[in-house]
Amino acid sequence: MTNGVKGEMTWKPEGVSGKLLYLRLKPFEPWRSYKEFPQYFRPDPPTHSQGYATFLHLLRSGWKVIT
C-alpha cells in the first residue's frame, strides 16, 4: 500500500458492463480501471476475472468492497 492509503473497489460500477475491477481512492472520485493504478496492480492467473489477484491483495490490505 502506498502511504497507507486505503480506498474502495467494485466489480461493476453503475453504467458499466463487463466484469473488471474498478478502484477509487476517495468516495467522491470517479471509478477507474484497476489497470490505471500500477502501484496496486497484481497479475491475474489466466482463468480468473480481470483484477482478481489485485482484488484479493487489496481486500487483505483493508480496502472496502462496494457492491
39 within domain boundaries:
yes
62 within domain boundaries:
yes
Provide the domain limits for residue 1.
Answer: 1-8+34-67
56 within domain boundaries:
yes
pTM for the whole structure: 0.84
52 within domain boundaries:
yes
51 within domain boundaries:
yes
Q: At 1, which amino acid appears?
A: M
Distance, CA of 26 to CA of 18 (rounded, Å)? 23
- When divided into structural domains, the chain yields a total of 1
16 within domain boundaries:
no
> Using one digit for the tens of pLDDT, what is the confidence trace for 7-59?
999 997 777 766 799 999 999 999 999 999 999 999 999 998 899 999 999 99
Distance, CA of 5 to CA of 50 (rounded, Å)? 22
Q: What is the mean pLDDT of the chain?
A: 89
